[in-house]
Amino acid sequence: MSRPALSRDRVLRAAVELADSGGISAVTMRRLAEELGAEAMSLYHHVANKEQVLDGIVDVIGAEINEAAARVTLPSHGDGWRKAARVRILAAREVLLRHPWAPALIESRTNASPEILLHMDALVGIMRDGGFSHDQTHHALHALGSRAVGFTQELFTPGNGPATGEPDPVMAAMAKRLPNLVGMLSEIAHDDPDSTLGWCDDQAEFEFGLDIVLDGLDRLR
């Protein structure tokens, strides 16, 4: 009957599962405890507070990223840097696609996650191997921004969100005042009526943006 003892690790793993199934807002101390067959107050013996749970979740995801990246490591010397950086970043992205709540959480945290720092360190190593100076590498990290971790926050690029087939209601109401946007969207929908809402392929778009930045950086090398 007695469930396995609580531990920081079990708490964090349960928190990730909870977020996966109910979004980040489902992660409350009370529900987390319930999931673990304990009382909310028991969690505080393994975790200082909720902030630390959220930091811990990010680190769990970071570890998943580093594991995934380790399986696709490529030689990074000279020209190889570009491909090596690209596959590492795309490996991170695949992890995030399994945890769609993670990008927003990662960005909202102000504490550094050790695992994500390891990911960044690996990326810096790749760029150094490629021949970038420390200064160029520093600029490069800023230019990549969150893309270095495999995502771009999509704002509400119109057409985003659940692919209901319905046009965004806010956009529809404003169509008259958004001639350029509406023109663009209607043409794209026309060109490719079968893709999601006829307009967005996130993976292709991510890679397009990533390649623009990587190419720009390669040119500076």
Partner DNA sequence: ACCTGAACACCGTTCAAGT
DSSP string, 33-101: HHHTTS-GGGGGGT-S-HHHHHHHHHHHHHHHHHHHHHTT----STTHHHHHHHHHHHHHHHHHHH-TT
Contact 6, 43 (CB under 8 A): yes
Q: Which is nearer to its own copies, 36 or 93 (CB)?
A: 93
**Alpha carbon 201 to chain centroid, angstroms:** 16
218 lies in the site for its own copies, by CB under 8 A: no
Build a one-symbol-per-residue string for 189-208: x at contacts with its own copies by CB under 8 A, - elsewhere. Answer: --x-------x-----xx-x
> Where along the sequence are the contacts to DNA (CB under 7 A)?
5-6, 27-31, 33, 38-42, 44-46, 49-51
**Is 106 one of the binding residues for its own copies (CB under 8 A)?**
yes
CB–CB of 151/65 below 8 Å? no
Q: Does 14 bind its own copies (CB under 8 A)?
A: no
Q: Which does 193 bind (CB under 5 to 8 A by kind): DNA, its own copies, none?
A: none
**57-76 footprint of its own copies as x/- string (CB under 8 A):** --------------------
**Is 163 in a helix, a strand, or coil?**
coil
* Nearest-approach distance from CB 14 to its own copies, in angstroms: 24
Query: What, of its own copies, DNA, none, does residue 170 touch, CB below 5 to 8 Å by kind?
Result: its own copies
The residue among 160, 210, 149 whose CA lies nearest residue 185 is: 160
Query: Does residue number 117 form part of the binding site for its own copies (CB under 8 A)?
Result: yes
Assess 188 for contact with its own copies (CB under 8 A).
yes
